[in-house]
């Protein structure tokens, strides 16, 4: 089932991946492995796609089953922290970061050009997923997520930044680039036609670096890569995901 994944990795107790359009059951505008439930796709099909991702991740990581956690993403900097199993049954609050200390829980961040960020401290048993578009990067969702991880015991955090729209492809009005640059100068970019643009992922990576977090940054521009969902390219479309779970040791 590797075909269903842009990148699927096992890092000690943490299993993580970033999905592509490959695989899945959606059709039309949502063709492939659409994981977004609020984009107009058939709800049952989305559930089937999500189950495929969970099954694949569980099989790869040796988990018996994984419980999924999705966010209600709003381009802000609020973070949900889940430390008790009972919280999994609560209504989903509006956040762009989610942290857990629970094993066998799969945290999802949904994207179609925005930056998916997965974080983990295996020694402390703390995981997180975050969603950063332009507004979230400027609002500080990265630091808020890292702080929330540290509050529940994370000390040595590693991060993986997934594919997102690149700085050449994210053309914006000049005032918008200036706003982003005021928050993160490294995010100021130039488009393919020489106009103002923003490299949101570069801003995210700089923010992680500033927090002292070791990271890897996966290649691939969503807008330039047909097998990835891109709102900029297609408008009405599906959502891919970054997903991470910590597998309970059973030895
Ligand atoms: Zn690009």
Tell me the residue range of the domain where 121 lies.
Answer: 2-246
Cα-to-centroid distance, 190 and ligand 1 (Å): 11
pLDDT at 4: 45
Q: Is 251 part of a structural domain of the chain?
A: no
Cα-to-centroid distance, 112 and ligand 1 (Å): 13
pLDDT at 63: 81
Cα-to-centroid distance, 165 and ligand 1 (Å): 5
Averaged over 96-120, what is the pLDDT?
97
Beta strands per DSSP E along 103-239: 105-111, 115-121, 126-132, 158-161, 188-190, 196-198, 214-217
Residue 64, number of CB atoms within 10 A of its CB:
9
pLDDT at 172: 98
Cα-to-centroid distance, 234 and ligand 1 (Å): 14
pLDDT > 90 fraction of the chain, expressed in percent and rounded: 88
Q: What are the residues facing 215 on neighbouring strands?
A: 159
Cα-to-centroid distance, 166 and ligand 1 (Å): 4
Closest by CA to 6, choosing from 36, 33, 38, is 33
User: Does the pLDDT at position 6 exceed 70?
Assistant: no
Q: Is 175 part of a structural domain of the chain?
A: yes
Cα-to-centroid distance, 75 and ligand 1 (Å): 21
CATH at residue 200: 3.60.140.10
Averaged over 111-127, what is the pLDDT?
97
Cα-to-centroid distance, 183 and ligand 1 (Å): 22
Q: Which residues of 91-125 are buried (b: 16+ CB within 10 A; e: fewer)?
A: eeeebbbbbbbbbbbbbbbbbbbbbbbbbbbbebb
Averaged over 130-144, what is the pLDDT?
98
User: Does the pLDDT at position 117 exceed 70?
Assistant: yes
């Amino acid at each position: 089932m590797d075909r269903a994944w842009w990148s699927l990795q096992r890092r000690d107790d943490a299993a993580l991946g970033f999905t592509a359009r490959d695989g899945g059951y959606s059709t039309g505008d949502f063709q492939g492995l659409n994981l977004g439930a609020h984009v107009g796709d058939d709800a049952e099909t989305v559930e089937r796609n999500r189950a495929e991702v969970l099954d694949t991740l569980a099989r790869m990581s040796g988990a018996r089953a994984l419980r999924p956690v999705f966010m209600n993403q709003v381009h802000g900097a609020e973070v949900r922290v889940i430390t008790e199993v009972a919280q999994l049954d609560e209504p989903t609050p509006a956040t762009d970061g989610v942290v857990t200390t629970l094993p066998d829980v799969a945290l999802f961040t949904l994207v179609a050009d925005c930056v998916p960020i997965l974080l983990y401290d295996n020694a402390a048993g703390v995981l997180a997923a975050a969603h950063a578009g332009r507004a979230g990067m400027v609002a500080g969702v990265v630091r808020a997520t890292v702080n929330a991880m540290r509050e529940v015991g994370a000390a040595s955090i590693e991060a993986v930044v997934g594919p997102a729209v690149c700085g050449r492809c994210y053309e914006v009005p000049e005032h918008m680039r200036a706003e982003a640059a005021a928050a993160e100068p490294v995010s100021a970019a130039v488009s393919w036609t020489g106009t103002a643009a923003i490299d949101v992922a570069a801003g995210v990576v700089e923010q992680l670096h500033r927090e002292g977090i070791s990271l890897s940054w996966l290649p691939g521009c969503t807008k330039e890569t047909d097998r990835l969902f891109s709102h900029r390219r297609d408008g009405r479309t599906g959502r891919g995901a970054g997903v991470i779970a910590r597998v309970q040791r059973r030895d």
